[in-house]
Amino acid sequence: MYEIMNKETKKIYGLLGRNIGYSLSPAMHNAAFQHFNIPDQYMLFDIEDSRVESFLKDTVSKGNIGGINITIPYKVKVKEILESNQNFQLDKTAILLGVINTIKKDGTRLIGYNTDGPGLYESLAEDLSFNPAGKKIFICGSGGAGRAICLYLASLEAKAPKAIYIYDVDAVKLAVLKNEFDVYFSGRGVLCEALKNNELALKISECDLAVNATPIGTKETDILPFPVDSVNRNACLYDLVYSRETLIVRTLAKKGIRAVNGLGMLANQGAIAFHLWTGAPLGEVKKIMRQALEKKIKSQFSR
């Protein structure tokens, strides 16, 4: 059995983001706390942009918070704020990816991690039986999650894809990601191309996997994030949106194309974070969190 530090003191953990009332993170983390008899609590920190810095420097650094996850739109912002803190450090994966989604508080130190990349990689195998090695992958979205996925997959060396095509409606963000990819991976055997609108259809048709790393699909009224008709029948789709069955997943599934939402990635990245915070066995945490998420989703759709 693992050890929990400061068992006598209830710690608070949570998700930092904006307009995140839809999040299922509290359900899976609190289920894990209950399963392992840890008297801690996970909650949502829905913070306005102007208050993020004070929240990190006062509430997180000085309060009874054991750790936090970070989501849209603060994954890059949090890292930039904390870089000036002498008690803040990044693990090696977070340094490479340039964005964090998890912070562990260790005494006076704050340690930044990124669990998105490994969370998706494991879910590709578990939910799509997909191995990215030597494949061509299209990623729509160059924000925190898209960036982490792109750079993490490229870092897998022998297990890395052959090519990664990236697209974003924000040309500046897209250019930044492409430049950082070239800095880290130029000449290392993985091709990366930043696509223009008129290149999407052809390149997507050549890919083995398409990933939606944008929040498009979270709302019922959302449109398709990219020309999905171009996805070939032998390819598959991974949609990071998990809070509902999205139009893109429904559309491709009707065509017989393997398409899944981001529930597996959510469970995996959350389990890795929980393991970092508590030392609980990772495999068991993943199982508990996945069960909690599936139960929560089922109850929502049955209303």
Q: Which residues are catalytic?
A: 75
Q: How many CB atoms lie within 10 A of CB 222?
A: 16
Residue 70 burial by CB count (10 A; 0-12/13-18/19+): exposed, middle or buried?
Answer: buried
Q: Give Cβ neighbours of residue 132 (< 8 Å, ≥ 6 apart).
A: 121, 124, 153, 156, 159, 160, 161, 209
Q: What is the C-alpha to C-alpha distance for residues 20 and 246, in angstroms, rounded to an integer? A: 17
Instruction: Answer whether 67's CB lies under 8 Å from 105's CB.
Output: yes
DSSP calls for 90-125: E-HHHHHHS--SEEEEETTEEEEE--HHHHHHHHHH
Q: What is the C-alpha to C-alpha distance for residues 104 and 110, in angstroms, rounded to an integer? A: 6
Distance of CA 149 to the CA centre of its chain: 8
Q: Could you give the angle at which helices 75-82 and 144-154 cross, rounded to 10 degrees? A: 80
Q: What is the C-alpha to C-alpha distance for residues 135 and 77, in angstroms, rounded to an integer? A: 32
